[in-house]
Amino acid sequence: MIAALIGKGIAASLTPAMHEAAGAALGIDYAYGRYDLATADYANWSLDQAVDAAQVAGCRGVNVTYPFKQDVMALLDDMSPQARDIGAVNTVVFEGQKRTGHNSDYLGFRASFARDMKALPRDAVLLLGAGGAGCAVGLALIDLGTTTLWIHDQSQKAALALADRLMALRPQVRCAVWKFQGAVDGILNATPMGMASHPGQAISLSDVVVRCWVGDIVYFPLQTALLRDATVRGLHVMTGGGMAVGQAAETFKLFTGREPDRARMAQDFHTMTQEVLA
């Protein structure tokens, strides 16, 4: 079986290795490739061309990451209800000529936050990023108890659109564009800032009064500049590792029809990150 990852700046992604290791543990002959549209090999390719190429090559499906989680929706025949609600797709399953979009980011993040942050307050949260990942984790935060969600994005139009979408889905919550005022229980980064290919921070913690915690969905590196800053300030931190493993497990099920050993996937992920650092 073959699958692939489509995105930009994905050379450091551990998704291919996680999928192949999970497949090997179940006796599945599994090859997982990459279409990195930021590299010379695919520099002139469009998203449409990459999806077509993967389907023609016989892939069971593709994972889709930054910056294509919303653009890919126009190339699909159908979407799961959850992906349609979120307005973003990170997984496409091929069934013959049919393309069906799913979103495993929501489930992966929700499980990770519920486990790692437990009873920490999350009534008021600042969400950094209004893209495809922001849609998924924003909805998950609301479903985990957030009642006021501030949204900050380089595009105020995108931030406002996400606020409107989330309030339409969950009318009980207050969502608004961040105005750099007031205190929040936590901050969650759902932008690519902090990735090895996008160094830096989406916001300075000096500009926000944070009561308790800071989380990041970036997992390479696990300790992003934002999380290092938060640690120095004595705040609880949540890395992107849990979400990475959780969404990979959900996608693996969609591609193979088999339930992976999630504990083993988490251990494999830990080993892989240590090997990269070494």
Give the amino acid at 207: D
If residue 127 lies in a helix (H) or strand (E), which one and from where to where?
strand 124-128
Give the model confidence (pLDDT) of 170-181 as tens digits.
999 999 999 988
Q: In the CATH hierarchy, which fold is given to the domain comprising 107-238?
A: Rossmann fold (3.40.50)
CATH 3.40.50.720 domain range(s) in the chain: 107-238
How far is residue 228's CA from residue 219's CA, in Å, rounded to a whole number? 13
Question: What pLDDT was estimated at residue 35?
Answer: 98
> What is the average per-residue pLDDT within 98-105?
97
Mean pLDDT of the residues in the chain: 95
| Residue 20 reports pLDDT greater than 60 | yes
Could you tell me which CATH class the domain 2-102+242-277 is placed in? Answer: alpha beta
Question: What pLDDT was estimated at residue 136?
Answer: 96
Q: Which of 69, 157, 179, 253 is catalytic?
A: 69
CATH 3.40.50.10860 domain range(s) in the chain: 2-102+242-277
Answer positive or negative: Cα dihedral of 171, 210, 273, 112. negative
| Residue 277 reports pLDDT greater than 70 | no
Distances 60 to 3, 22, 57, 107, 257 between C-alpha atoms, Å: 6, 16, 9, 21, 11
Over pLDDT 70: what percentage of the chain?
Answer: 99
| Residue 278 reports pLDDT greater than 60 | no
Give the model confidence (pLDDT) of 161-210 as tens digits.
999 999 999 999 999 999 988 899 999 999 999 998 889 999 999 999 99
Distances 10 to 69, 76, 92, 153 between C-alpha atoms, Å: 14, 22, 17, 22
| Residue 255 reports pLDDT greater than 80 | yes
What predicted TM-score, i.e. pTM, was given to this entire model? Answer: 0.90
Question: What pLDDT was estimated at residue 197?
Answer: 85
Give the model confidence (pLDDT) of 34-62 as tens digits.
999 999 999 899 999 999 999 999 999 99
Over pLDDT 90: what percentage of the chain?
Answer: 92
| Residue 7 reports pLDDT greater than 90 | yes
- 69 tagged catalytic: yes
